[in-house]
Amino acid sequence: MKQEKMQEKQDTLRKQEKVTILAIETSCDETAAAVVRNGREVLSSALYSQIDIHKQYGGVVPEIASRNHVEKLPHIVKEALERSGAAWEEIDALAVTAGPGLVGALLTGVSYAKALAYALDKPLFAINHMEGHICANYITHPQLEPPFICLIASGGHTNIIKVCDYGVYEKMGQTRDDAAGEAFDKVARILGLSYPGGPNVQKLAEEGDPNRYVFARPFRGQTHLDFSFSGIKTAVVNLVHGMEMRKEPYSKADVAASFQKAVVELLLDNVFEAARRTGIKKIVLGGGVSANRELREQALRRQEANEIYFPALCDCTDNAAMIASAAFYAIRRGCRAADLTLNADPSCELI
Ligand code: KG4
Ligand code: ZN
């Protein structure tokens, strides 16, 4: 699309009362497409999960993920469009996750979205995956508005973000090593549970005693709001290996429950402290780990003067509706559409 024509189209879109966006998400092992109106009304959300394929390898194999995206994406996009009841002419804009994520996986979505935008002559918006995780909450909670404090805890990231306004972010804390989801996945592997570890550790933890083992909490007494999960993960490895070498009987459920308790406490201590420091009462959780039942229950238990929001379970993990929601607000605040030079950026930061 010619530059001037594109600008004109974007200006119209920005003011348009109803904006319908088709979004694509392929940053990891979910092939997803969705059609969303005005950032909150999901007309359709189609998803193909590759979990069963990667399970046999104990984690995501990037090359296999990319190949499956290439194979499944055209069908998923078609399914999303058909289920939305919209025709191509009713789609105002396209959106795609450009990063962060696995480079090959991201490239499949970015290339497909660019080809669609070119063929249909529609503007395309490049979206940051982490922003998508924040926006997942706008879908579950139609009344939710910034400002709020958001904890994003996924397989690759753990951040505390002050969401000052739509698209206006301040980072208040981040992990200095592993992400929370990554720690869940690694501990699951040590305990012989399959990928993805988070839901399986949660399930096992339900039968265990969370006070059986106490793992040291890093950064206790520090003023910053950063996280560290690698120490807890190593402590679990050493504990389990030690007991196995000594042939000491132990309960895997107790290990899972104690580990989960430690991670949940770390996450919540910092996010509640961020809310206290800023005077912002609304706390929002997002990302795959926000599906964790213990995290959700403990957040509600601690809330007192705070309001707690988390996405519906289906909106916690990767999906394309959250990408469409982020694109809607990007359009509203005047972000520029991408051109055909758009590339995947596997390690881009939200801020
Ligand atoms: O947001 P997501 O789907 O993908 C990334 O952007 O990384 O998050 C996936 C992560 C995985 O590490 C998975 O183990 C974790 O979220 N997860 C959970 C739960 N469900 C998914 N962790 C703890 N408890 C859960 N119920
Ligand atoms: Zn994600």
* pLDDT tens, position by position, 233-292: 999 999 999 999 999 999 999 999 999 999 999 999 999 999 999 999 999 999 999 999
Best of 150, 152, 184, 191 to mutate for ligand 1, by most ligand atoms within 8 A of CB?
184
Q: Both ends of the chain: CA-CA distance in Å?
A: 29
Q: Which of 182, 195, 267, 289 to mutate to test the pocket of ligand 1 (most atoms within 8 A of CB)?
A: 289
> What CA–CA distance (Å, rounded) separates 173 from 319?
25
Please indicate whether residue 100, judged by its CB atom, sits closer than 6 Å to ligand 1.
no
Nearest Cα to Cα of residue 99 among 154, 170, 37, 25: 25
Q: Ligand 1 in contact with 202 (CB < 6 A)?
A: yes
Q: Decide whether any atom of ligand 1 lies within 6 Å of the 128 Cβ.
A: no
132 lines ligand 1 (CB under 6 A): no
How much distance in Å is there from the Cα of 245 to the middle of ligand 1?
31
Helical residues (DSSP H) of 165-320, grouped into ranges: 180-190, 197-205, 230-245, 252-278, 293-302, 313-316
Cα of 157 vs its chain's centroid, Å: 8
Helix, strand, coil % (nearest 5) of the chain?
50, 20, 35
Q: Closest ligand 1 atom to the C-alpha of 30?
A: 3
pLDDT of residue 1: 60
What's the 85 CA to ligand 2 centre distance in angstroms? 27
* CA pair distance 278, 275, nearest whole angstrom: 5
Return the residue whose CA atom lies nearest to atom 23 of ligand 1: 198
Q: Whose CA is nearest to atom 2 of ligand 1?
A: 288
Q: Does the beta carbon of 148 sit less than 6 angstroms from any atom of ligand 1?
A: no
pLDDT of residue 291: 98
- The whole-angstrom separation of Cα 118 and Cα 112 is 10
Residue nearest to atom 7 of ligand 1 (CA): 155
Q: What is the pLDDT along the chain (351 residues), one digit of tens a residue?
A: 667 888 888 889 999 999 999 999 999 999 999 999 999 999 999 999 999 999 999 999 999 999 999 999 999 999 999 999 999 999 999 999 999 999 999 999 999 999 999 999 999 999 999 999 999 999 999 999 999 999 999 999 999 999 999 999 999 999 999 999 999 999 999 999 999 999 999 999 999 999 999 998 899 889 999 999 999 999 999 999 999 999 999 999 999 999 999 999 999 999 999 999 999 999 999 999 999 999 999 999 999 899 999 999 999 999 999 999 999 999 999 999 999 999 999 999 999
Residue 101 Cβ < 6 Å to ligand 1? no
Measured in angstroms, how far is the CA atom of residue 47 from the centroid of ligand 2? 14
Concatenating the DSSP letter of every residue in 101-134 gives S-HHHHHHHHHHHHHHHHHHT--EEEEEHHHHHH
Residue 178 Ramachandran class (φ > 0 left, ψ -120 to 50 alpha, else beta): beta
131 lines ligand 1 (CB under 6 A): no
CA distance 44 to 197: 28
